[in-house]
Every structure is written in C-alpha cells, then in structure tokens.
Amino acid sequence: MNTGPTLERFRRMLEMRHFDEACLEGVPGFEIHGELHTGIGQEAIGAGMAESLRPGDAVVSTHRNHYHALAKGVALRPLLAEIFEKETGLCRGRGGHMHPFDPATNFSATGIVGASLPVALGYAYAYRLRGTDDVAIGVTGDGGVNTGGFHETLNMAGAWKLPLVVLVENNLYGISVPIEAVSATATLAERAAAYGAWGRKVDGTDPDTVADAFAEAVTHARSGRGPALLEATCFRFRGHFEGDHDNYRPREEKQRIRRDHDPLTLYRAKLTAAGVADQATLDALAAQGKAAMAALLAEVRADAQPEAAGALRYRFVEEA
Ligand SMILES: Cc1ncc(C[n+]2csc(CCOP(=O)(O)OP(=O)(O)O)c2C)c(N)n1
C-alpha cells in the first residue's frame, strides 16, 4: 500500500506539536511537576498510527505518550488538564503526564520503562478470550527493548498468536545511552524472527510511511496471525525530559536533527510538491491550530486543582 500525503495527517501532526508546545509552557512556573517528556520531533509516528486504530483497540504507551493519546482519540481538553494537574483532567489530576488512563478509548501509559508491553499483552489475551478482533498496541522506546518484559511479551504473543503490535520508537537514545552501544542486533525489527512475529523497520519521520506499515502490522495482528514488531526510526528534538542538559549529544547533531529531520517541515515539502496544498494554506492551518491550542490552554489554566485533602482519592473504584 502507498497512501498519502494528506492534509489530515499534517493537521494531526500539527495538533500533536502544538499540544506539546502548550505543555512546555507549564514547566517554568511549576504548573507541571516532575519530568515532562515531549514527543516533539516524533509526531509522524502518532499521525501514522491514528487511521488504523479502532475504538475497541487498546494503546498502552510510555512516559512519552501525549501524541499516542491523541492518535487513539483521547479528548484534548481532559488530556491537557490532566497534564496540568487539574481536577478536570482525565484522571482528576492524579495521574499527571506519565499516567493518563482513559477507559473510554482504551488508552493508558506507564512511566515504568518496558512495562507498557506486558500490559498490552494482557489486552491482547483478553481480546482472544472474548473472541473479538480488537488489537492491542504496546509502545516502547529503544531503551525499553532490552527489558525482560519485551522478550516475555513477544514470546508469549508469538507462542499463542495473540493480536499484539509492538511499536518501537527508535529515537537512537535511551536518555544518554546510544542504541548501538546496547543492542546485540543491528536493527530492532529483526528481533521479530525470534518470536515468529511480523517485523519491519521504517522511517518514522514520514507519516505516510508509518501509516502504511502500521496498517499492515495491525492487519496482521487482527487477522489472527500473531504479533507484529514495527520499528519506527525518529529523532528526539529536545532533552530526554525538560531540564535534561542533553550534553551527551554534540550541538551539531542536535542542530542537524532539527534542520533535516523535522517531520512537519518534511511533510510541508511533500504536500506542496504533490500539489495537495500550497505554503499559504499550510501556514494558515498552522496559525489556526496554534491559536486554538492557546485558547484551550488558557481555559485549562483557569480550572481548579485537586484539593490537597483529596490527594489520595480515586486510587480504587469509589461509590458514586
Ligand atoms: C524500569 C525503569 N527503569 C528506568 C527508568 C528511568 N527511565 C525513564 S525513561 C528512560 C529511558 C527510556 O528510553 P527509551 O525507551 O528509548 O524511550 P525515550 O525516552 O527515548 O522515548 C529511563 C531509563 C524508568 N522509568 N523505568
């Protein structure tokens, strides 16, 4: 399959970028506590995932999760409010940016590296038991692929042919550790062979490439042929988290990444070359999107925070 380029994918990437830029505004004044990990630079993966996901499918993401949530259809306002620790948030401000949980869309995330995968496996097994054709997506970074959970998850999914897609976002670093220093295999996708899984490595900076490969991976898993392992290469534009000095990457490398590998810039060129839209149309879309996100952020900032006395509420199901 060879789809795109489309304005819809551009719009999705823009929304993901604007969303994370809005989150950045919460850091200096401590509106967002703890470590904020943005997906700036990795939006093509989120935009590429979105079209193949059905409401019943599950996505279990990582500490770097906002764009996956948007791809799954989590509502913008409660997600932003959760990250800004508001009572109006998805988890009433108790989950924060690393632990959004949305039963309505089957989206969740965990800050424990590698732990998203066994949780996704649980969804996949539940789908098998229920006899549905839903698929579970477990997301991990290149740092998460060397955890026991990665191996155990793919092995069980392969042995039982469970409907699981493991999406590896290979942005080349686990914090400061380069992937080539810690991986026994040249690619991460080639590990699929060990689990009898479908495997592919793609350019994760192009939403069309991601969309096509992700659609194939999901179709494979949905049709009962077992798990799929999709490695999408990408670049982390900022430090590992806001506050990371990021001095393990040379300045030239970071400049080159922003100059040559920005998925939004690359997609603008693709859209204009294909005659889908001109620069003025894309500029207008970007300006509109930015203004809408600024308005949403202003609204969310005015929301109430949870009261300190209620900090421990909602850990368990409560009577209404
Ligand atoms: C089990 C566990 N060990 C260590 C950490 C600290 N930690 C947070 S993110 C991270 C690196 C993750 O790298 P990667 O999986 O490549 O994701 P990326 O940050 O590049 O998106 C580490 C070691 C953690 N959160 N959980």
Atom 6 of ligand 1: nearest residue by CA position:
113
**Per-residue model confidence as pLDDT tens for the chain (320 residues):** 678 899 999 999 999 999 999 999 999 999 999 999 999 999 999 999 999 999 999 999 999 999 999 999 999 999 999 999 999 999 999 999 999 999 999 999 999 999 999 999 999 999 999 999 999 999 999 999 999 999 999 999 999 999 999 999 999 999 999 999 999 999 999 999 999 999 999 999 999 999 999 999 999 999 999 999 999 999 999 999 999 999 999 999 999 999 999 999 999 999 999 999 999 999 999 999 999 999 999 999 999 999 999 988 888 877 66
Cβ(41) – ligand 1 distance below 6 Å: no
What distances in angstroms separate CA 17 from CA 38, 40, 256, one per listed residue?
9, 6, 19
- Provide the annotated active-site residues: 236, 240, 248
Cβ(112) – ligand 1 distance below 6 Å: yes
Give 305 Cα–ligand 1 centroid separation in angstroms: 28
| Cβ atoms 268, 279 nearer than 8 A | yes
Cβ(174) – ligand 1 distance below 6 Å: yes
Cβ(66) – ligand 1 distance below 6 Å: no
Give 63 Cα–ligand 1 centroid separation in angstroms: 8
Q: Using DSSP bridges, classify how beta strands 177-178 and 173-174 pair: parallel, antiparallel or unpaired.
A: antiparallel
Q: What is the pLDDT of residue 253?
A: 97
Q: What is the pLDDT of residue 314?
A: 85
What's the whole-model pTM score?
A: 0.97
Among 67, 113, 170, say which to mutate for ligand 1: greatest number of ligand atoms within 8 Å of CB.
113
Ligand 1 atom nearest to CA at 64: 21
Q: What is the pLDDT of residue 152?
A: 98
* Residues in Cβ contact with 112 at an 8 Å cutoff, skipping those fewer than 6 apart: none
Among 37, 60, 62, 63, say which to mutate for ligand 1: greatest number of ligand atoms within 8 Å of CB.
63
To the nearest 10°, report the CA torsion of 281, 283, 284, 287: 160
Side chain identity at residue 109, one-letter code: A
Cβ(238) – ligand 1 distance below 6 Å: no
| Domains and their CATH numbers in the chain | 1-105+231-302 (3.40.50.970), 112-168+177-184+222-230 (no CATH)
Within the chain, what is the greatest distance between any pair of CA atoms? 57
Ligand 1 atom nearest to CA at 63: 9
Cβ(171) – ligand 1 distance below 6 Å: yes
Give 119 Cα–ligand 1 centroid separation in angstroms: 17
Integer Cα distance of 127 and 134 in angstroms: 6
Q: What is the pLDDT of residue 3?
A: 83
Integer Cα distance of 163 and 147 in angstroms: 21
Q: Which residue's entry shows tokens 């740092």?
A: 143
| Cβ atoms 12, 73 nearer than 8 A | no
Side chain identity at residue 231, one-letter code: E
